[in-house]
Amino acid sequence: MGHEGVGFKSGSTRSGLPTTRSRVPRGRQIQKTFNNVKITVLCGFVTLLVLRGTIGVGNLTGSTLESEDQRVVEDIDRILREIRTDSEPEPQDPLSSLYFVNSTAHNWTYAEAVEAVNYSLGPKISDWDQQRQVWLSQNPNFPNQLLGKHRILLVTGSPPNPCDNAIGDHYLLKSTKNKIDYCRLHGIEIVYNMAHLDKELAGYWAKLPLIRKLMLSHPEIEWIWWMDSDAFFTDMAFELPLEKYKNHNLIIHGYPDLLFEQHSWIALNTGSFLFRNCQWSLDLLDAWAPMGPKGIVRELAGKILTANLKGRPAFEADDQSALIYLLTSQQDKWMSKVYVENSYYLHGFWAGLVDKYEEMIEQNHPGLGDERWPFVTHFVGCKPCGSYGDYPVERCLNSMERAFNFGDNQVLRLYGFAHKGLVSPKIKRVQDQTSDPLQVKEKLDMAARITM
């Protein structure tokens, strides 16, 4: 730097030049040198201070609070790790010992693998309809109808451990509240499952043993309604048209042309469907389960499904593809009792719906259940609980918040409130308090238009 150069030539600010110039007294020169050095040192000190402040700890008053927070955060991290390691070890593939013993690996076929594993959901039951009738007649306190409506049990669940992504648990909570609200309004009971009942049928297959178990344990229940944890009710007024399903045992959202003509792997959606509590359903579950056991069976089944279903990527067998394959390959046996529903969104794929909520509020009203006011908005592919979704995380979370608030508005309306916007958790009063609340209650209509 310039001034250093000047300083170094200490006292010689005027030296190095023709000697015609008079010399400055040495003492004065030394003093000037000292001044320069002092300034340099001072600036250096300030620079160090600034650097320490920006990249070091720096702040004096904040240090104690921060270290306390740091301790709490470390505690929580450690606890999270402990909780996660508490989870079950991966179920051992029952065939793995056979598979790897020989150096020349035997090429299992799917049929061989299924036979070797010999999985079953439980002891074979052949007379469930009669058993159930007998039980119902012996237990008149537990009828299968309430106020003229068949009893429905909504079944949902989530893994017993915290989500990999903390925000995932928050949306599980909101999704549960959403289901509690719909079911309270429609007299439906809820079972929230957090237990791995069957190690072999883990993951998306876990619903099969659960549904069977609940059917057999609750003969008073007429319909078991499985609903994924990432599906939200967005039409609080819509009632399932059960009379349409008098002669059917499986109600599932899908498209017949995609199913029968194209054999598409997304022709049906197993995120929201109803099973009647009867022998037929037990038989279907038994026929559905074989592709599920984790390990070699699921892998080989996955290859078969990818080969036979249109558009299916290569991965292990999932329950949805397996059901589609089962129903299309054994059409005559099963399809007469399956109702492929698409007149309303028993399952509504979120991407095409979430941006239209404001438009729906403006033009339509609750109770329709279809694309004008979707019954269920299902966040397929978002996986907020896990680490890897198929869509950008922020878009998913933003959209889930909107769907939740869209549904919540229809509940809050009954109490005179609404969300300030579809993305805001804050609410505002939309109806003044009155000293005659029952008069207001008389006029409440769940299917009335909503004003934001």
Partner 1 sequence: MNISSHKTWQRCNYSLFAGAKLVILCFLILTVTFLCTTYFTTSYSNLVQIVSKSNHLPIQQDKVVEGVGALPTVPQIKVVEGVKAKEESHFRSLNDSTYTLGPKINNWDLNRAKWLRHNPGFPNFFSGPKPRVLLVTGSSPKPCANPVGDHYQVKAIKNKIDYCRIHGIDIFYNNALLDAEMAGFWAKLPLLRTLLLSHPEVEFIWWMDSDAFFTDMAFEPPWDRYEPYNLVFHGWDHLVYKDKNWVGLNTGSFFLRNCQWSLDLLDAWAPMGPDGPIRDEAGKLLTGFLKGRPVFEADDQSAMVYLLVTQEDTWSDKVYFENSYCLHGFWESLVDRYEEMLEKNHPGLGDDRWPLVTHFVGCKPCGNFSEFPVERCLSKIDRAFNFADNQVLQMYGFAHKSLNTSSVKRVRNESVGPASAPDEVSIVLYPSVNDRN
- Residues in region 208-267 near partner 1 by CB under 8 A: 213-214, 216-220
For the segment 289-318, give every residue that binds partner 1 (CB under 8 A).
Answer: none
Q: Does 391 engage in binding with partner 1 (CB under 8 A)? A: no
The b-or-e profile of 183-221 (16+ CB within 10 A means b, else e) is bebbebebbebeebebebbbebbbbbbbbbbbbeebbbb
Asked whether position 190 contacts partner 1 by CB under 8 A, the answer is yes
Binding flag, residue 431, partner 1 (CB under 8 A): no
Judged by DSSP in three states, 106 sits in coil
55 binds partner 1, rule: CB under 8 A: no
Q: Round to whole Å and give the CA distance between 266 and 450.
A: 33
Q: Does 437 bind partner 1 (CB under 8 A)?
A: yes
Cβ at position 119, least distance to partner 1 in Å: 13
Pick 343 or 431: Cβ nearer partner 1: 431
Per CB under 8 A, the list member of 176, 262, 308, 364 interacting with partner 1 is: 176
Which one of 31, 67, 70, 87 is in contact with partner 1 (CB under 8 A)?
87
Contacts of 26-34 spanning 24+ positions with Cβ under 8 A? 33/7
In the bound state with partner 1, the residue whose beta carbon lies nearer, of 4 and 261, is: 4
Q: Nearer to partner 1 by C-beta: 131 or 262?
A: 131
The amino acid that residue 128 corresponds to is W
Burial (Cβ within 10 Å: 0-12, 13-18, ≥19) of residue 124: exposed
Judged by CB under 8 A, the chain residues 16 through 35 that form the site for partner 1 are 17-18, 20-21
Pairing of strands 417-419, 427-429: antiparallel
Member of 146, 326, 446, 448 binding partner 1 (CB under 8 A): 146
How far apart are the C-alpha atoms of 382 and 61, rounded to whole Å?
A: 42
SS3 2: helix
279 part of the interface to partner 1, by CB under 8 A? no
By CB under 8 A, the count of residues binding partner 1 is 106
Distance CA 78, CA 82 (A): 6
Question: Encoding tokens for residue 116?
Answer: 């070797």
Q: Is 360 in the site for partner 1 (CB under 8 A)?
A: no
- Residue from 75, 115, 257, 362 in contact with partner 1 (CB under 8 A): 75
72 binds partner 1 (CB under 8 A): yes
